[in-house]
Amino acid sequence: MKAVIALGANIGNPQENIDLAIALLREATDIQAISSMYTTAPVGGPEQPDYINAVAIAESELPATDFLNMLHGIEKALGRERTIHWGPRTIDLDLIQYGSILSASQELYLPHPRAHERRFVLEPWLEIDPDAHLLTHGRVDGLLSALLESER
C-alpha cells in the first residue's frame, strides 16, 4: 500500500533527526520518494523554533494500524515525548494517507484530518508526486493553490 508520511522536527538537531527517521523508515518500508527539506513556522502551540519538514512516500504491506505503530516506534526511538499538544518535538511522523483507507477511529484517522490545511504537508508532497490526490479533499496541487491564495 502507498503510504504518505509527513516528517517534522524542531528541537535537538532537526535535520539529523529527520535523516535518522528516514534511515529507520528505509529499514521498515520500501521508500519510493523523499521530498526536499522545508523550513516552516510552527502552527499552534507554544512559542517554539521553526520546523524542518519533509514528506516521504513508501510502499508497505503492513495493516494501517501496524504501520502507524511502526511510525510511533521510530518517534520513540528518536526521543519523541508527547507532553505538550502541538509543542516542540525531536521528531514527528504523521501518516497522512495509506492506500485508499478511510478511517475515523480513535486510534487511526485517515487521511490525516488537517493535511489539506498544512502547507508543510502539501508543498513537499506535491514536489515528489505532482499527481497527488488527498482522498477526502481532492488534488494536492489545487489544495496548495487555494491555501497559498488564502494566505495572501
pLDDT of residue 80: 75
Active site residue 94: yes
| Cell 508527547, residue located | 82
CATH code of 49's domain: 3.30.70.560
d(CA 50, CA 132): 26
Residue 137 corresponds to which cell in the numbers above?
479533499
Domain that holds residue 38: 2-110
Establish if 97 belongs to a structural domain: yes
* Angle of CA points 101, 102, 103, to nearest 5°: 115
pLDDT of residue 84: 65
| Cell 488527498, residue located | 134
CA distances from residue 11 to 15, 45, 148 in whole angstroms, order as listed: 10, 14, 27
User: pLDDT tens digits for 83-119?
Assistant: 666 668 889 999 999 999 999 998 999 999 999 999 9
Establish if 129 belongs to a structural domain: no
Establish if 132 belongs to a structural domain: no
- Cα dihedral angle (70, 75, 76, 81), rounded to 10 degrees? -140
Establish if 22 belongs to a structural domain: yes
Domain count, the chain: 1
State the pTM of this model: 0.94
Which of 4, 3, 27 has the alpha carbon at shortest distance from 124? 4
Residues of the chain with pLDDT under 50: none
Q: Which of 80, 114, 119, 129 is catalytic?
A: 80
Active site residue 80: yes
Establish if 66 belongs to a structural domain: yes
Active site residue 92: yes
Active site residue 131: no
Q: Which of 30, 50, 92, 118 is catalytic?
A: 92
Residue 109 corresponds to which cell in the numbers above?
484517522
